[in-house]
Amino acid sequence: MRKVVVVGCGNVGMAYVSNLVSTKGLVKEIVLIDKDRDKILGDAMDLSHASVVYNNNVTIKAGTYKDCFNADIVVITAGFNQEKGQSRLDLISKNKRIIEDITREIMISGFDGIILVATNPVDVMCQVVKNVSNLNSNRVIGTGTMLDTDRIKYLLSQKIKVNTENIHAYVLGEHGDSSFAVWSRSTIGMVPIKETVSDEDLDIIETEARNLAYKIIKYKGYTNYGVGMCLHKLTKAILNDENVVLNVSSPVDGIYISMPSVIGKDGIKGTMKIEFTAEEELKFNNSKEVIKEAINSLEE
């Protein structure tokens, strides 16, 4: 069918949809859902005209939750974003209520596809979607640390002047302040990263990557293009059954947290087990605790 429904057509949702529309042959139908009906009526018209540029035969419309019933993928990008200085976890209670309502509506339609989640705090919101939808946990996927991983690759590439394609660096854990770089598994080409970049520079880059969202939000009030591209990459991986390994928010030990996972037509086909160093293990366990505490705070 190659049908995608996007719930929440603000900065993130529309950055994603605009990528979809410009990729020939990826999707046949895109349905927009948002509580602001006028905005999506306008966006659907605007994007329909944009699709003619590439002549890619995609139908775009403003729809309702009934449209989810035969969708391959529903992407949730609705909810509040961070204000200046706010952490992702600060959004937890108000976004939980929104995501619960949205997930119920999606499931009432008879939907049986894959749900991608970008709404923050994304690891916790994946758990909310999973609990309300009762979908198999491999069919609920969060963008997780995909974007953090791309940010760290960008910063390394700027520092050492090597193409990002040859920088194999990874950020795992919570998509939030406890995320961490897995330097022990990172390489430039085939060379271990620690043989090329000093520990001091790696520390600086890791901290900088963690703070980039705050920096962008300080300038423009939100971030959207990076995560829009990540959602596009995930959509492509699923619809084309690519079996590509991505650092997404995946079910691990009863919570959602980012680990490298194989993504294809059934969603998460498998999650890799990484042998961390003792220090990385501590950071991973800390991230797990942060997510667990956040989930527990919702149940109190």
Beta-strand ranges (E) seen in the chain are: 3-7, 29-33, 59-62, 73-76, 114-117, 140-142, 167-168, 171-172, 180-181, 187-188, 191-192, 244-252, 255-264, 267-271
Q: Does 103 bind ligand NAD (CB under 6 A)?
A: no
Segment near ligand NAD (CB under 6 A); pick from 56-64, 180-188, 217-225, 276-284: 217-225
Of the residues 178, 186, 223, 258, which one makes contact with ligand NAD according to CB under 6 A: 223
DSSP string for residues in 185-204: G-EETTEEGGGTS-HHHHHH
State in angstroms the smallest separation of the CB of 6 from ligand NAD: 10
Question: Of 118 and 182, which CB lies nearer to ligand NAD in the complex structure?
Answer: 118
Taking residues 50 to 69 in sequence order and writing x for each that binds ligand NAD by CB under 6 A, - otherwise, the string is --------------------
Whether residue 121 has a cis bond before it, omega within 30° of 0: yes
Using CB under 6 A as the binding rule, whether residue 81 contacts ligand NAD is answered as yes
Beta bridge partners, 108, equal none
123 in contact with ligand NAD (CB under 6 A) = no
Residue 234: which of 110, 93, 122 has the closest Cα?
Answer: 122
Judged by CB under 6 A, the stretch of 55-63, 94-102, 132-140, 259-267 that binds ligand NAD is 94-102
- What is the smallest separation between the CB atom of 96 and ligand NAD, expressed in angstroms? 11
CA distance linking residue 183 with residue 160, whole number of Å: 15
Give, as one character, the DSSP assignment of residue 271: E
Q: By CB under 6 A, is residue 12 in contact with ligand NAD?
A: yes
Tell me which stretch binds ligand NAD (CB under 6 A): 46-54, 161-169, 223-231, 279-287.
223-231
Cα separation values, 119 from 26, 76, 175, 281, Å: 23, 7, 11, 27
Question: CA 17 from chain center: how many Å?
Answer: 14
Q: Does 119 bind ligand NAD (CB under 6 A)?
A: yes
How far are the Cα atoms of 192, 197, 200, 230, 283 from residue 16, in angstroms, in the given order? Answer: 34, 34, 36, 8, 31
* Residue 217 vs 245, nearer CB to ligand NAD: 217
Is 168 among the residues known to form the active site?
A: no
Is there binding between residue 122 and ligand NAD (CB under 6 A)? yes
- Do residues 95 and 119 lie in contact, with contact meaning Cβ atoms separated by under 8 Å? yes
Give the shortest CB-198-to-ligand NAD separation in angstroms.
29
C-alpha atoms less than 13 angstroms from C-alpha of 56 in its C-beta half-sphere: 21
78 counts as binding ligand NAD under rule CB under 6 A: yes
Q: Does 181 bind ligand NAD (CB under 6 A)?
A: no
DSSP classification of residue 83:
P
Catalytic residue numbers?
175
Binding residues (CB under 6 A) for ligand NAD: these are: 7-13, 34-36, 77-82, 91, 95, 98, 101-102, 118-120, 122, 143, 147, 175, 222-224, 227
